Structure 1
Amino acid sequence: MARKSSPTNWNFPFRRVLFTWELEEEANLLGLLSSAPSLAIDKADHLIWASASTSPSVFTVSSLYSASNSTLGLHFKICRHIWNGAVPPKVSFFSWLAWKNKIKTAVFMHRIGILDVSASFICPFCCFEPEFAAHILLHCPFSWLIWSSIINEWRFSWCIQGSVDDLLQWWMAVKFKNFDRLIWRAIPLIVLWSLWKLRNECVFAEAQPSLFGLSENIKIRTALWLKASIKDLPYSVDDLTFNWRQIRGCS
């Protein structure tokens, strides 16, 4: 990458023609570069740390945390929710992709030119609607029943959310104490990952979606993963698998 004659004109020597979605990313990068301060050719480069809470050149961990918290706001809280350490890293990583709307659904793969135009992009659960991220994870009747059954187990009523971001915001707004809070925070991440895992089994292994089977898998994963990651969790594997209503009643 090199600058041309103009301070705002950049040259990117790409080795191939960019896809449409990559052109959008290139435009975003150019916009970011154009907003950067002008270079002072007569001055030597040096590193500084600029933060509203500290003087320039003085770096502290607390100043970085404060700057991140003030800049990202609610997104920072969602990141903490996703990367909470109670579930395996693969589950947190997939949940982060889902939150960013970057999971590789059939519609997404069609859009970037990976799937052939003749390949199906229909949801493998309902076999009716196009497989968008929000559909396969939230709005498909099959997925909606999974979420509703879990919400009912915890004795709540809700309306289906419009996106994964809305889902996590709603989930974080529900307050619990102690260990119940840790269990509650992990559940949406496990459900998202379990729905996508079943989707892949349907697409690549010709599995058939089962409401009962997926519900049981979600509870078993929740029990095993939380017992392995949360020290002194007072609930047994059986409690976490079969007695969610009892856990909620004791909170």
Structure 2
Amino acid sequence: MGLVYSSTVRGFGPDKVCWKPARNRGFEVRGYYCSFYPPTAVSFPWRMVWQAKVPSRVAFFSWSASLGKILTTDNLRKRRVIVLDWCYMCKGCGESVDHLLLHCPIAWELWSLVFCLFGVQWVMPYSVLELFEAWQGKFARHRHIDIWRLVPHCLIWCIWRERNARSFEEWKKWNKQLAFDDLGIQHTLPLARRSILSLESSWEFNIAHEGQSSSVVFIIDFTVLPLSTKLTTTS
């Protein structure tokens, strides 16, 4: 009551209820929902997610991951599922979407190897949404932009499949491939290439290269690997 009496009454006429976020339109469920979430400076990168030449299920997974909705341990616990909160990849931290796909030490090794393949120096963003937002960068008009757009989809899909294999099947497919601490970069490049190409059996890409339909093997071997030298001459 103290709050009511402390308010100064202005104007005349009968009292009425008004919705401040949208005085002209009145109360809307959409406006009420948006009032719980502060506006973000990052717009949703729908072109990177939906226009990349990847299978529909992979694009849908990338969309869910960018919104933080995939069923990692932290999201399962929010749904009152009793599960141990740890990362199935590094077994050292709690598992969240951004940690699993970006900041986990094992995931970061994979990202670093791909950046080496492209000759790119990159500071990993905080979230998957920011990653897709900033991914195109100066490559937006490059002739190999279609290949560059595949990379984040491919990596987060590989990491998610490996996470599920370790979680549900107790099968660590990449144990030796991910142990890069004792290997030099000249040995890790073939391993990283094989990790990316492991999707060829389920991803059937048809990207034209010099008028021909090319497989993922052809693209990686003849386009991605020498891409760093091409970028230096065109940028």
Sort the TM-score into its range (normalised by shorter chain): 0.5 to 0.7
**Over aligned residue pairs, what C-alpha RMSD do you find?**
3.4
Residues 139-192 of structure 1: per-residue CA shift (max 9 Å, x gap): 110000011100111001112221112211221213154651100011111111
**Aligned equivalent of 2:132:** 168
Distance in 1, Cα, partners of 2:141 & 2:203: 20
Residues 66-114 of structure 1: per-residue CA shift (max 9 Å, x gap): xxxxxx99635x111100150000100000011111111011101121x
Residues 43-64 of structure 1: per-residue CA shift (max 9 Å, x gap): xxxxxxxxxxxxxxxxxxxxxx
Q: Identify the structure with bigger relative contact order (alpha carbons < 8 Å, sequence gap 6+).
A: 2
Unmatched segments (≥5 aa) in structure 2: 1-15, 20-27, 179-190
Distance in 2, Cα, partners of 1:223 & 1:175: 28
Deviation at 1:200, TM superposition (A): 0.6
Q: Are residue 75 (structure 1) and residue 29 (structure 2) matched?
A: no
Q: Are residue 139 (structure 1) and residue 103 (structure 2) matched?
A: yes
**Aligned equivalent of 2:77:** 110
- The within-5 A match list for 1:51-200 is 75=43, 78-113=45-80, 115-116=81-82, 119-175=83-139, 177=141, 179-200=143-164
Distance in 2, Cα, partners of 1:199 & 1:135: 12
Q: What is the aligned-residue identity percentage? A: 25
Quick one: which amino acid aligns to residue 239 of structure 1? Answer: F
Quick one: which amino acid aligns to residue 162 of structure 1? Answer: Y
8 A Cα contact 1:125 1:199, kept in partner: yes
Deviation at 1:210, TM superposition (A): 3.3
What TM-score, normalized by structure 1, do the two folds share? Answer: 0.63
8 A Cα contact 2:102 2:108, kept in partner: yes
Deviation at 1:230, TM superposition (A): 5.1
Unmatched segments (≥5 aa) in structure 1: 1-5, 10-26, 35-71
How many residues are matched? 188
Q: Are residue 212 (structure 1) and residue 177 (structure 2) matched?
A: yes
Distance in 2, Cα, partners of 1:175 & 1:223: 28
**Aligned equivalent of 1:239:** 218
- Relative distance call for 1:222 and 1:75 in structure 2 (3 A) is farther
Residues 201-223 of structure 1: per-residue CA shift (max 9 Å, x gap): 11011011437378323234369
What TM-score, normalized by structure 2, do the two folds share? Answer: 0.67
